[in-house]
Amino acid sequence: MLDSLVRHRVEHLVFAVDVIPNPQALLPHVRDALGKPSARMLVERVIEHVVAFGADVTSVPDDAGRLVQFGGVVATLRY
């Protein structure tokens, strides 16, 4: 999903409000595209990035079941 982020293919981003993903888990080109954010700033940078390219964003409670299984962030993509 994050590779699609830097290719501007995210149509709708859904994230858990309290998620703090590990920025070290990102591929280097994705981390660079987001400005190498800290863990606390990663979701904010992702939101800024997708909104700048026309995506919708939805936040959900962090206990939203299966979303946590996917790292707290999922997206639908445009082609």
Single pTM value for the model:
0.84
* CA angle, 51 then 56 then 57, to 5°: 90
Interval 36-52: pLDDT, tens: 999 889 989 999 999 99
Rounded CA-CA distance 33/45 in Å is 10
Domain carrying residue 12? 2-77
Provide the token pair at 55.
């995506």
CATH value at residue 42? 3.30.1330.30
Interval 6-21: pLDDT, tens: 899 999 999 988 888 8
Scan for tokens 């909104």, then name that residue.
51
Tell me how far the alpha carbon of residue 60 is from its chain's centroid.
Answer: 13
Burial class (CB in 10 A: 0-12, 13-18, 19+), 4: middle
What's the total number of domains in the chain? 1
